[in-house]
Amino acid sequence: MPDSFEPADISDEGQAPARDHMEVPRKEPIRVLVVDDHALFRRGLEIVLAQEEDIQVIGEAGDGAEAVEKAADLLPDIVLMDVRMPRRGGIEACTSIKEVAPSAKIIMLTISDEEADLYEAIKAGATGYLLKEISTDEVATAIRAVADGQSQISPSMASKLLTEFKSMIQRTDERRLVPAPRLTDRELEVLKLVATGLNNRDIAKQLFISENTVKNHVRNILEKLQLHSRMEAVVYAMREKILEIR
């Protein structure tokens, strides 16, 4: 798979407290279940991930039905799963996996760049959506990020999400009667940069503040708006005309 992109950091949901300097080594490896209907692809992922000291492949499955069974038995930290598979697809399996292994986080790794698949995967509980054009090295990086509470979506797919959200807002005339919670000037600055797709590190550089401060601002924004993710905050802000993405 060619080197093509760095997965976008688009969520602060559930992330660990920020560490300004050295990362604290994990006490236990991240336990991963690999799900894909191509045995050769599964084997390739296992070989690559076996080189990572902090990642352990604990099982594999060839379709969504088998993935649910394995998830219930193995209780993985991360499920790395294809979208389209025989018997039961990955999106359909997402909901069932979240029921039998609530703590498991699901990353869809697929060739499908269809917006519908992306939306359905997120609705079903997927925390990441990566295209198979991602480099093998970036797979490990994405696994670590999701294990730390971030959401990982290929930049091209994240762009489609924002485009769809903008179209959705433009199609509706419905407006909320309840006034929007008041954000500080700094929080508005952070929210506008989040809306452009920047991650916390880049926002920190642009505003000349620490990454930890950015995370605190994002957390405060989500609390004030009573939302759960950065994407929801952007959609809310556009709908309430707090900001506009041109």
Q: 236 and 225 in contact (C-beta within 8 Å)?
A: yes
Is the pLDDT at 104 greater than 90? The verdict is: yes
Residue 149's pLDDT band, with cuts at 50, 70 and 90, is confident
Q: Is residue 159 part of a domain?
A: no
Mean pLDDT of the chain: 80
Per-residue model confidence as pLDDT tens digits over 136-147: 778 999 999 999
Per-residue model confidence as pLDDT tens digits over 202-223: 899 999 999 999 999 999 998 8
Higher local confidence (pLDDT), 197 or 113:
113
Q: Looking at the structure, do residues 16 and 113 belong to the same domain, yes or no?
A: yes
Q: Is residue 2 part of a domain?
A: no
Is the pLDDT at 8 greater than 80? The verdict is: no
Q: Looking at the structure, do residues 137 and 185 belong to the same domain, yes or no?
A: no
pLDDT of 209 reads 94
Q: Residue 6 class from Cβ within 10 Å (0-12 exposed, 13-18 middle, 19+ buried)? A: middle
Q: Looking at the structure, do residues 102 and 199 belong to the same domain, yes or no?
A: no
Arithmetic mean of pLDDT, 228-243: 74
Residue 170's pLDDT band, with cuts at 50, 70 and 90, is low
Look up tokens 């979240």; give the residue.
98
Q: Residue 25 class from Cβ within 10 Å (0-12 exposed, 13-18 middle, 19+ buried)? A: exposed
Max Cα distance, the chain (Å): 55
Is the pLDDT at 102 greater than 70? The verdict is: yes
Read off the pTM.
0.57
Q: Looking at the structure, do residues 107 and 145 belong to the same domain, yes or no?
A: yes
Higher local confidence (pLDDT), 229 or 169:
229
Tell me the residue range of the domain where 44 lies. Answer: 8-154
Q: Is the dihedral of CA 111, 36, 152, 56 positive or negative?
A: negative
Q: Is residue 166 part of a domain?
A: no
Q: Looking at the structure, do residues 148 and 51 belong to the same domain, yes or no?
A: yes
Per-residue model confidence as pLDDT tens digits over 173-190: 444 444 556 888 899 889
CATH code, 185:
1.10.10.10
CATH code, 27:
3.40.50.2300
Total number of domains in the chain: 2
Q: At what angle do helices 155-171 and 230-239 cross, to 10 degrees?
A: 30
Q: Looking at the structure, do residues 131 and 32 belong to the same domain, yes or no?
A: yes
Q: Looking at the structure, do residues 142 and 229 belong to the same domain, yes or no?
A: no
Closest CA relative to residue 245, chosen from 235, 32, 26, 98:
235
pLDDT of 3 reads 43
Q: Looking at the structure, do residues 119 and 30 belong to the same domain, yes or no?
A: yes
Residue 7's pLDDT band, with cuts at 50, 70 and 90, is very low
Is the pLDDT at 167 greater than 70? The verdict is: no
Higher local confidence (pLDDT), 155 or 233:
233
